[in-house]
Amino acid sequence: MSISTPKRISGRDNPEFKRFLAVRARKNRELILVEGPKLLGEATRSKLHVRAVALEESAVGISGNPGAVFLRFSAPLMKSLSDVETHKGSIALVERPRFTDAWLDHEDAFILVLDGLQDPGNVGTLFRTAEAAGVTGVLLTRGCADPLSPKALRASAGSAFRLPHLLDLSVDELLGKLPRGVRLAAAVAGPGASSVFDAAELSLPLALALGSEGSGLDPRIEGAASNRIRIPSARSVESLNVAIAGAVVMFEIARRAGILRS
């Protein structure tokens, strides 16, 4: 369905604009902001319901998304909604995907555990990498960045729309979610850990836990792990970025499991 004469809005007191503003301020957690036609296309392909699409006055039309309300916002209103220097001409209100925890019981589950990762760019990058590496789903502790926040979504390139995940878990809740028979491997930087390239017990089903670069994993998560792994390096450096470290470990696990297709 193409746009035909969308309603033009320029005032900040308009109820439609306030609805977008409430989602940006996270006062409405049922919806998310999706900026730009590329991410909107990913949301549509992921079969998410698009409630409304706001276009800048100079933006061209967008096809698809039957049932969505199309609006045309003035440039100042669009700028106030966007969190990038040069916005993409469109911002949509999309229903947040809903995931159950049924994926945790997959026979060869490959679970990513993120603990205390506050940087949305790192969280989004890890989601994109996790989808490529064949991860089944992601568990995130309370305090992690929302993978569906605008910056995380851009970094994930839409992977967070599709990859099942559970948010805001306490450490006890997270450990309780891990099914019996799923080993927990903790990626750490300290002594006593095995090289990921030599470590045993990295076959699926498996949960891989990553902590923040600053504080690392919660001691309870690390203590529950049956395997502590590290990434060896040619030279001594302070630490690897968690998204880079996570990519190395996830793809090594995927390589061993034989789930990489090309």
DSSP strand pairing (194-195 vs 227-230): parallel
Here the contacts of 39-45 (C-beta below 8 Å, separation 24 or greater) are: 39/153, 39/154, 39/157, 39/158, 40/65, 40/90, 40/92, 40/94, 42/157, 42/158, 42/161, 43/92, 43/94, 43/158, 43/161, 45/158
Q: What is the CATH number of the domain that holds 191?
A: 3.40.1280.10
According to the model, what pLDDT value does residue 61 have? 55
CA gap 141, 175 in Å, rounded:
10
CB 191 within 8 A of CB 200: no
According to the model, what pLDDT value does residue 236 have? 83
Together in a domain, 20 and 54: yes
CB 202 within 8 A of CB 227: yes
Together in a domain, 149 and 57: no
* E strand or H helix that includes residue 114: strand 110-115
The residue range of the domain holding 211 is 102-257
Please say if the pLDDT value at position 1 is more than 70: no
Together in a domain, 12 and 59: yes
Together in a domain, 155 and 248: yes
Please say if the pLDDT value at position 223 is more than 70: yes
CA 215 from centre of chain: 21
Q: Which residues of 167-192 are buried (b: 16+ CB within 10 A; e: fewer)?
A: bebebeebbebbeeebbbbbbbeeee
Would you say the pTM of this structure is higher than 0.85? yes
CB 115 within 8 A of CB 221: yes
| 31 is a domain residue | yes
According to the model, what pLDDT value does residue 192 have? 85
CA gap 137, 104 in Å, rounded:
7
Together in a domain, 188 and 251: yes
According to the model, what pLDDT value does residue 71 have? 93
Boundary (domain end) residue, out of 70, 95, 120: 95
CA 201 from centre of chain: 27
CA gap 90, 215 in Å, rounded:
38
Together in a domain, 84 and 178: no
**pLDDT tens for residues 63-117?**
556 678 999 999 899 999 988 877 778 999 999 999 999 999 999 999 999 999 9
Across the chain, what does the average pLDDT equal? 91
Boundary (domain end) residue, out of 95, 110, 139: 95
> One-letter amino acid identity for 127?
F
| 209 is a domain residue | yes
| 262 is a domain residue | no
Together in a domain, 220 and 248: yes
According to the model, what pLDDT value does residue 2 have? 43
Question: Which of 124-133, 218-227, 234-243 is the least confident region?
Answer: 234-243
**pLDDT tens for residues 180-216?**
999 999 999 877 899 999 988 899 999 999 999 888 9
Q: Is 72 left (phi over 0), alpha (psi -120 to 50) or beta?
A: beta
Boundary (domain end) residue, out of 95, 112, 136: 95
According to the model, what pLDDT value does residue 235 have? 86
> How many domains does the chain contain in total?
2
Q: What is the CATH number of the domain that holds 50?
A: 3.30.1330.30
Together in a domain, 233 and 190: yes
Over residues 150-179, mean pLDDT? 97
Together in a domain, 170 and 122: yes
**pLDDT tens for residues 4-60?**
567 888 889 999 999 999 999 989 889 999 999 999 999 999 999 999 999 987 655
Cis peptide upstream of residue 76 (ω within 30 degrees of 0): no
Together in a domain, 244 and 161: yes
- The H helix count followed by the E strand count for the chain is 9, 12
